[in-house]
Amino acid sequence: MRIKKAFQEEARRRLIPFITAGDPDFETTLELVGLLDEERVTAIELGVPYSDPLADGPVIQAASARALEQGMNLPRVLELAEAARNRGVTTPLVLFSYYNPILRYGSEVLMTRAAQVGIDGMIIPDLPWEEGRELSRQAAEQRVDLIPLVAPTSRERIQRIVSDAKGFVYCVSSLGTTGVRSDFDQKVDAFLDTVREASPVPIAVGFGISRRKHVDRFLEHADAAVVGSALIRMAEQRKDALTDADRREDALEEIRQFVRELADERSVSVYRT
Ligand SMILES: O=P(O)(O)OC[C@@H](O)[C@@H](O)c1c[nH]c2ccccc12
Please report how the helices 58-69 and 229-237 are oriented relative to each other, as an axis angle in degrees rounded to 10. 50
The tally of domains found in the chain comes to 1
For residue 136, tell me if it sits in a domain.
Answer: yes
CB neighbours of residue 193 within 10 Å: 14
Q: Ligand 1 pocket by C-beta < 6 Å: which residues?
A: 18, 45, 47, 55-56, 60, 125, 178-179, 206-209, 226-230
Domain, as residue range, for 242: 12-147+223-262
For residue 131, tell me if it sits in a domain.
Answer: yes
Please report how the helices 107-117 and 74-86 are oriented relative to each other, as an axis angle in degrees rounded to 10. 20
Strand order of the sheet with strand 149-150? Answer: 145-146, 121-123, 93-96, 44-47, 15-20, 224-227, 203-206, 169-172, 149-150
For residue 16, tell me if it sits in a domain.
Answer: yes
189 is catalytic: no
For residue 171, tell me if it sits in a domain.
Answer: no
In ligand 1, the atom with minimum distance to the C-alpha of 55 is: 15
Q: What is the DSSP letter of 131?
A: G
Interacting residues of 168 by C-beta distance below 8 A, sequence separation 6+: 3, 7, 43, 121, 145, 147, 201, 202, 203, 204, 223, 224
Please report how the helices 229-237 and 248-262 are oriented relative to each other, as an axis angle in degrees rounded to 10. 160
Ligand 1 center to 246 CA (angstroms)? 31
pLDDT at 132: 92
pLDDT at 269: 54
Ligand 1 center to 163 CA (angstroms)? 23
Cα gap 127→130, rounded to integer Å: 8
For residue 33, tell me if it sits in a domain.
Answer: yes
CATH of the domain at 106: 3.20.20.70
For residue 196, tell me if it sits in a domain.
Answer: no
Q: Are 77 and 95 in contact (CB under 8 A)?
A: yes
Annotated active-site residue in 25, 31, 39, 56: 56
Interacting residues of 202 by C-beta distance below 8 A, sequence separation 6+: 7, 168, 169, 222, 223, 224, 269, 271
In ligand 1, the atom with minimum distance to the C-alpha of 231 is: 4
10 is catalytic: no
**Closest to 145 in 3D by CA, of 131, 160, 166:** 166
In ligand 1, the atom with minimum distance to the C-alpha of 45 is: 10
pLDDT at 267: 64
The pTM assigned to this predicted structure is 0.96
Residues of the chain with pLDDT under 70: 267-273
Ligand 1 center to 225 CA (angstroms)? 11
pLDDT at 154: 87
pLDDT at 271: 53
For residue 88, tell me if it sits in a domain.
Answer: yes
pLDDT at 273: 43
Q: What is the DSSP letter of 126?
A: T
Cα gap 75→127, rounded to integer Å: 20
CA-proximal residue: ligand 1, atom 4 (nearest) = 228
Mapping DSSP to helix (H, G, I), strand (E, B) and coil, where does residue 20 land?
strand
For residue 132, tell me if it sits in a domain.
Answer: yes
Ligand 1 center to 19 CA (angstroms)? 9
CA distance to 207, 209, 221, per residue, from 230 (Å): 10, 7, 21
Annotated active-site residue in 39, 45, 145, 223: 45
